[in-house]
Amino acid sequence: MQERYNPAEIESRWQEQWEKDKVFRVVEDAEKPKYYLLEMFPYPSGRIHMGHVRNYSIGDVVARFKRLQGYNVLHPMGWDAFGMPAENAAIQHGTHPAAWTIENIANMRVQLKKMGLSYDWDRELATCTPDYYRWEQLIFLRMLEKGLAYKKSAAVNWCPSCETVLANEQVEDNCCWRCDSTVIQKELDQWFFRITAYAEELLAFTERLPGWPESVLTMQRNWIGRSQGCEIEFAVADQEQKIRVFTTRPDTLFGATFMSLAPEHPLAAALTTPERRGEVEAFIRRIQAVDRLQRTSDDFEKEGVFTGSCCINPVTGRQMPVYLANFVLMEYGTGAVMAVPTHDQRDFEFARKYALPLQVVIQPEGETLEPATMTGAWEGPGIMVNSGVFDGLDNETGKARIAEHLEQLGRGRRTVNFRLRDWLVSRQRYWGTPIPIIYCDACGALPVPEEQLPVVLPTDVSFTGEGGSPLARLESFVKTACPRCGGPARRETDTFDTFVESSWYFLRYACPDYGHGPVERAAVDYWMPVDQYIGGVEHAVMHLLYARFWPKVMRDLGMVGIDEPFTNLLTQGMVCMETRSCPEHGWLYPEEAAGERCSRCDAPVVVGRNEKMSKSKKNVIDPDGLIARYGADTARLFTLFAAPPEKGLEWNDQGVEGSSRFLHRVWRLVGEHFEVVCSAGAVDPAVLDESARNMRRQIHRTIRKVTDDIDGRFQFNTAIAAIMELVNGISGWPDKNRHPAVLREALETVVRLLGPFVPHIAEELWRELGHGDGLEAHGWPACDEAALAASSVLIVVQVNGKVRGKVTVPADADDQAVRETALADANVARFLEGLTVRKVVVVPGRLVSVVAE
RNA sequence: GCCGAAGUGGUGGAAUGGUAGACACGUCGGUCUCAAAAACCGAUGCCCUCCGGGCGUGCCGGUUCGAGUCCGGCCUUCGGUACCA
């Protein structure tokens, strides 16, 4: 055995062996229980970052652990390969998105392989290949047939100068990131998926996902935002038009004194009287220049404009002036709100600003509200007043009664409204899945016939960043024949949101080469659902909601048989680091800021906040350097040991040394004893002395702890700490040489427990300990309950809540005996002197708490 | 703004309502060495009148024999907020 631990040599040797033998390749096997472990696939940005290292190290521990437990483990990897950065690179550096992406994938694949991750690389997929997206196009056609995909108008961020659509992240302070022009909201005809048709089911199933973090489920429930309420029709005075509103507070209908519409409301123009037109149009223009987040925040000034028209309150007959208001959104409800200033804070502020009337209709218990003296709206419960026949009812009863009343009048009905909106999937970009639609002037919008799929993304395009999508300018792509009449027609040039690809890739992993449909039913039936999904907490709502939606659609299309794709979910925290910048040269990479001075101008660097590692702020650590210097095992061990997975991880180089030192120590410990150990026999518990029994107790306590920490809690940091304690215990065990069999059990346990975390060194040491076959053949070590038994326990004694003594009692002592021993302790007695004992609480095996005064 | 988290020594973190600080990093002292590195041993929350005791888990209050943990109210930081993925 080599004296010195040499990770570079060991790791490349094992990685080659794993690759050559395809040891992580899996096939369906009805004899074995399956376990599908999936980490969120990466966007191929060019280099892996510490967040990937963390995510994939966590996943690999679980994959290897489950394999050791005898599961048939599917552990795939692939590439979320469409997206904006490829297009930005094309605009900035002239590289083609496809070439850029393929090169990035090649680089990152090498990096991942250097980490020793146990993937079945035969299942690798990239979403930018026609073999993948052709099936996405097919599913879209099926959704179209079922009415689950449709087209409607929606607003986008538009830069008038670049003549292009901007992503939210490309808008800075309402200005275009490239040219600084003011961004406006522009209406475009766009494709949507009808996710709202699944709102009830997506919500209901949040109750059936016990393996998900409650915080994620709560966020999803709030995002879906189901609310029970009432749709009410308001007639417009002197016109045929009707305004429909949604309200959760029909009980306040008698207090509705005006109407607020979204500035984008389709009736806005029709209701505007000629003399108001100028002011109204100016207001609409102004609101379009404000982003939605700002518009709806509570501290944003409530503003509006009178249209000149009035509508009629269906129960009071009162004329209600119709306003356009900045805080009303077209996307929520019906885009119109009946304004009850006395019982809604936003309406209250609005009414005060524009001197609109207030009418109290709910009186809280023990108070009498007067419009003249109110300083805010009363949004709580109360008794109905000024509400005709409904006076005297409590408002909850009133909600139902007024709803019934409106239904009888034919002026309203009870409805359920969702905050969730349909999913806008059109992107006016090049690097994405082409939407398979053809537009014919004679026949309209038609699906591309199935046999013509895939609609392949052409590669002969040029990138300027201006003038809209490069696809739309490519004649050879746009010009086509109408599939119905054969006349000249145009192709759809929008591509899909990249969230579409990531909404079903986990299904495709079950059968990545299947050529007759999106998925092979038998393979999906065997592998799905994913048993454990692991990824960043930043995906808690959007990706994870879309990825729950698509399988449900595919189920209803008869393609899969599952309701939910992910049985268990682990959301990992982000890897963060302080930013460093130079007043002269901007953000600095860590190596440019060595010694806290800028490497270029020697100015003192400014140390910024701790933030998510990102290329743009240069607060990144390149895992390659780490692996080259310490080896993959150390890099894995450190990221796992530094913090529990859910927590954010602040990068700190110094900790890495510690992890490396530990592996060197384990190597030496085995090296010093492997000859003795290899010739040792099996442990005979009957002949052991106390020292050996104590050693065995620690061995088996550690097995139990590590098993529980990996399996139930994903607390890898404490699992590793426990193994470190065991190693410390073995090193300091004075009777090592008297008990070769126990020493062998101890060392073998360390190596086996380390296997999932640091597979290369563990496999190597396992062979050194004289085993001809691999770790996996021996499975996961079992905890011997008999070895755990201890003869005595330490009991802490508290007097009035403070620790005053510690006593050792036999493990089987009863409460009375424990109590007596505790009270007899010298220090305890000292603190009880002159006091009367009122109460003694005995917690078996733990503590005695004495209350005295 | 809204939704969801987090806050514990110099640092990362540990603690089924039961000894706060496991395990590491760092620092200090020591052993070995001509010297250094590596390795090993020891100390290390703060304070005091230091063989003992007091105070300590973001802040304020509450429940309990006992609260880092449970409850109420704040503060700060982070994530998401529908075209970043």
Q: Which two tokens stand for residue A470?
A: 């490069």
- What is chain A's length? 853
User: Which pLDDT score is estimated for A528?
Assistant: 96
Those nucleotides of strand B lying less than 7 Å from any protein Cβ are 1-6, 11-16, 18-20, 22-26, 38-41, 53-55, 65-67, 77-85
According to DSSP, the β-strands at A383-384 and A362-363 are antiparallel
A721 beta carbon to strand B: under 7 Å: yes
CA angle A816, A817, A823 (to 5 degrees): 90
According to DSSP, the β-strands at A304-312 and A319-325 are antiparallel
Residue pair A437/A476 in contact (Cβ under 8 Å)? The answer is: no
From the CA of A77, how many Å to the C1' of B24?
32
A604 beta carbon to strand B: under 7 Å: no
According to DSSP, the β-strands at A847-852 and A837-843 are antiparallel
Residue A459 DSSP label: S
A655 beta carbon to strand B: under 7 Å: yes
CB neighbours of residue A837 within 10 Å: 12
Residue pair A799/A828 in contact (Cβ under 8 Å)? The answer is: yes
- Per the rule left: phi > 0, alpha: psi between -120 and 50, beta: everything else, A357 is beta
Residue pair A76/A25 in contact (Cβ under 8 Å)? The answer is: no
A573 closest-nt by C1' vs CA: B79
Q: Which two tokens stand for residue A247?
A: 């309200």
Q: Which two tokens stand for residue A83?
A: 């997206």
A844 closest-nt by C1' vs CA: B18
Distances from the Cα of A585 to the Cα of A177, A408, A576, A804, angstroms: 20, 71, 22, 60
Q: Which one-letter amino acid corresponds to residue A479?
A: K
Residue nearest to nucleotide B24 (CA to C1'): A658
From the CA of A213, how many Å to the C1' of B70?
20
A499 closest-nt by C1' vs CA: B85
Q: Which of residues 782-801 of A touch strand B (CB under 7 A)?
A: 794, 796, 798, 800-801
From the CA of A607, how many Å to the C1' of B28?
28
From the CA of A199, how many Å to the C1' of B68?
39
Report the sign of the C-alpha dihedral through residues A602, A607, A608, A611, in that order.
positive
At a CB cut-off of 8 Å and minimum separation 6, what does A396 contact? A251, A381
CB neighbours of residue A829 within 10 Å: 13
Q: Which two tokens stand for residue A151?
A: 């087209």
Q: Which two tokens stand for residue A194?
A: 């009808």
A330 beta carbon to strand B: under 7 Å: no
Q: Which one-letter amino acid corresponds to residue A460?
A: D
Q: Which one-letter amino acid corresponds to residue A183?
A: V
**Rounded-to-integer distance, Cα A201 and Cα A199, Å:** 5
From the CA of A50, how many Å to the C1' of B24?
20
**Rounded-to-integer distance, Cα A41 and Cα A119, Å:** 12
Q: Which two tokens stand for residue A147?
A: 């009415």
**DSSP code per residue over A354-402:** HT------EE-TT----GGG-SS---S--EE-SSGGGTTSBHHHHHHHH
User: Which pLDDT score is estimated for A332?
Assistant: 83
Q: Which two tokens stand for residue A148?
A: 């689950």
Q: Where are the alpha helices (DSSP H) in A250-374?
A: 268-271, 277-288, 292-296, 345-354
Rg over CA atoms, chain A: 34
Q: Which two tokens stand for residue A435?
A: 């939407």
From the CA of A296, how many Å to the C1' of B1?
7
User: Which pLDDT score is estimated for A68?
Assistant: 97
Residue pair A556/A549 in contact (Cβ under 8 Å)? The answer is: no
Tokens 């209406």 sit on residue: A187
Residue pair A489/A103 in contact (Cβ under 8 Å)? The answer is: no
From the CA of A455, how many Å to the C1' of B48?
80
From the CA of A422, how many Å to the C1' of B82?
9
Q: Is A152 exposed, middle or buried (0-12, 13-18, 19+ CB in 10 A)?
A: exposed
A50 beta carbon to strand B: under 7 Å: no
A661 beta carbon to strand B: under 7 Å: yes
SS3 state of residue A778? helix
User: Which pLDDT score is estimated for A835?
Assistant: 82
From the CA of A721, how many Å to the C1' of B42?
21
**Rounded-to-integer distance, Cα A713 and Cα A705, Å:** 11
User: Which pLDDT score is estimated for A594?
Assistant: 64
Q: Which two tokens stand for residue A779?
A: 């499975």
**Rounded-to-integer distance, Cα A790 and Cα A812, Å:** 10
Residue pair A574/A612 in contact (Cβ under 8 Å)? The answer is: yes
**Rounded-to-integer distance, Cα A627 and Cα A833, Å:** 62
**Rounded-to-integer distance, Cα A193 and Cα A435, Å:** 12
Q: Which of residues 723-742 of A touch strand B (CB under 7 A)?
A: 724-725, 728, 731-732
Measured torsion, CA atoms of residues A142, A146, A152, A154, in degrees rounded to the nearest 10 = -70
A838 closest-nt by C1' vs CA: B65
Q: Which two tokens stand for residue A154?
A: 């929606």
**Rounded-to-integer distance, Cα A506 and Cα A513, Å:** 13
From the CA of A655, how many Å to the C1' of B26?
9
Helix (H) or strand (E) holding A799: strand A792-799
Residue nearest to nucleotide B38 (CA to C1'): A661
CB neighbours of residue A456 within 10 Å: 11
Tokens 């038994």 sit on residue: A789
**Rounded-to-integer distance, Cα A839 and Cα A851, Å:** 5
Q: Is the backbone peptide bond immediately before A76 cis, with ω within 30 degrees of 0?
A: no
A43 beta carbon to strand B: under 7 Å: yes
According to DSSP, the β-strands at A649-650 and A426-427 are unpaired
User: Which residue from A389, A601, A401, A452 is spatially nearest to A134, judged by alpha carbons?
Assistant: A452
From the CA of A729, how many Å to the C1' of B31?
21
Residue nearest to nucleotide B1 (CA to C1'): A297
User: Which residue from A789, A752, A794 is spatially nearest to A769, judged by alpha carbons?
Assistant: A752
A421 beta carbon to strand B: under 7 Å: yes
User: Which residue from A246, A259, A238, A245 is spatially nearest to A306, judged by alpha carbons?
Assistant: A259
Residue nearest to nucleotide B84 (CA to C1'): A169
Residue nearest to nucleotide B79 (CA to C1'): A538
Report the sign of the C-alpha dihedral through residues A103, A107, A110, A115, in that order.
negative
Helix (H) or strand (E) holding A532: strand A530-536
A223 beta carbon to strand B: under 7 Å: yes
User: Which pLDDT score is estimated for A81?
Assistant: 96
Ranges of residues in chain A whose predicted pLDDT is under 50 = none
**Rounded-to-integer distance, Cα A404 and Cα A398, Å:** 10
**E-assigned strand segments in A32-95:** 34-39, 72-74
**Rounded-to-integer distance, Cα A235 and Cα A255, Å:** 17
A297 beta carbon to strand B: under 7 Å: yes
A218 beta carbon to strand B: under 7 Å: yes
A804 beta carbon to strand B: under 7 Å: yes
Residue pair A136/A508 in contact (Cβ under 8 Å)? The answer is: no
Beta bridge partners of A569: A533
**Rounded-to-integer distance, Cα A823 and Cα A813, Å:** 15
Residue nearest to nucleotide B41 (CA to C1'): A732
A827 beta carbon to strand B: under 7 Å: yes
A659 closest-nt by C1' vs CA: B24
Give the 3-state DSSP-derived string for A675-718, with helices as H, strands as E and coil as C. Answer: HHHHCCCCCCHHHCCHHHHHHHHHHHHHHHHHHHHHHHHCCHHH
User: Which pLDDT score is estimated for A596?
Assistant: 66
Q: Where are the alpha helices (DSSP H) in A119-160?
A: 130-145
